[in-house]
Structure formats: structure tokens, C-alpha cells
Amino acid sequence: MTAIFRKEINAFFSSLIGYVVIAVFLVVTGLFLFVFPETSLLTYGYATLGPFFTLAPNILLFLIPAVCMRAFAEERQTGAIELLVTRPLRDVEIVLGKFLACLALVVIALLPTGLYYFTIYQLGAPEGNIDVGGTIGSYVGLLFLSMAFVAIGLFASSLTSNQIVGFLLALALTFWCYFGFDYLASLPVFYGNGDAFISGLGMEDHFRSLGRGLIDSRDVVYFLSITAFFLLLTVLSLERRKW
């Protein structure tokens, strides 16, 4: 697993992939949060990183499928997958190695956004007038959300040898898991607590819950379960070659 992790990390940073992902994430969030007047935190009126935590999942919805689309699809296309599976590695180790590498790239992209927190902390009146608990909870939520998105992206990539198809499939799955259940709950067909139950099946509801600053075990278990489920599907998808 460690060898796969190092191989994937080297692949990201020996080419432009890793740098482009980090640059795109930081440039887009920076423009929306500090340059565009309609969304700038500098004109927001009070010290909060709320707009960032609203924007970030939408960017990750596109970036993470783009990062993961080559994980297995490229190796299937080039035939390298056959060389990979002949090594003394179990399928689960291959999947976990690629999962941790993709997640590490996303975390590296998130780390510089700590500067946003420092900036708003300094600009608060009085200084430090920012919801620290909510900010920490939202960052934890972004980490768990990224884990789930990466797991979905790897599963989509394992289903095809075409990277574009893998990207589009991952994008559709992550979009549905994040927004789809809220949309379904808004339809006038559910009564009583039915809409709350349907909404609670989606990632957005649990991400918002973590953003309130209270790390609820139900939200943590939810994201870990989604991540484990799609990683298991990825392992099973790889094992199809043995059937």
C-alpha cells in the first residue's frame, strides 16, 4: 500500500496534475472570497468563513473527479493494470494506496486556505471575532466530504478505461450524493418527517451539521460509511477480472 501511495503522489507532482489542482482550487476560492465584490469577504459585514465553506464543496465536486479519473481508467487503457495486479499486493491495498494519495493531494490544496482564516481573524472587530468552533467543524466536514468524494471518484474510475467517462460518472455520483437528496426532499410528495429523513441521506445535510461546530458522531459515522461503501465497491470492481 505504501508503494502505491508513493507512486501516485510522485505521479501527481512529477507532472502538472498536482500543481494545477492546487492552483485552480486556491485561485478560484481566492477570486470569489477576496476579489469579486458580490462575494468578497472584505465587504461581507462581519467576520466569517461561511462563504468559503459554501463555495469549497462546489469546487471539490469538479476537482476531485478530475483528480481520480485517471486512477484506474488510465491503467486499464494502457494495460498497466495487469502489471500492477501481478505484484504481491491485495486489491484492497491497491485501492487504499490510491485513495490516500488522492486524499493527500486534496488536503495539500486545503492547507493554504488557513491563510483565509488568519486574514478574517485579524480583520475582525475586535480582532479574533470569528466562530472558531464553527470554522474547525467546517474544516473537519471538508475533510470527511473529500474522503467520500475521493472514494466515489475511484469507484467511477474502476468501471471504465475511458478517463472522460470516469470523470463524468464520478461527477454525476458526487453531485447526486451532495445535492440530490435535498432536491428530492423538496418535492411535494413527502409528508411529516419524510422530507427530513430523505434530506438526511445526503452529504450536504451532514456537512452543514458539522459546520455548526459540534462534531456529531452520527455525521462522522455517515461519512465513514459512505467512504467505506464506495471503497468496497471499488475493490469488488477490480476483482471482476478474476471472474
Share of the chain above pLDDT 90, in %: 37
Give the Cα separation of 213 and 17 in Å (integer): 33
Give the residue with greater pLDDT, 37 vs 242.
37
- Using one digit for the tens of pLDDT, what is the confidence trace for 174-225? 999 998 878 787 777 655 566 777 777 889 888 988 888 778 888 999 999 9
Taking the C-alpha atoms of residue 240 and residue 185, their distance in angstroms, rounded to an integer, is 35
Q: How far apart are CA 60 and CA 45, in angstroms?
A: 27
pLDDT digits (tens, 9 = 90+) for 32-48: 888 887 777 777 667 77
Q: Is the dihedral of CA 39, 47, 142, 25 positive or negative?
A: positive
pTM of structure: 0.90
Look at residue 103 and tell me whether its pLDDT is greater than 80.
yes
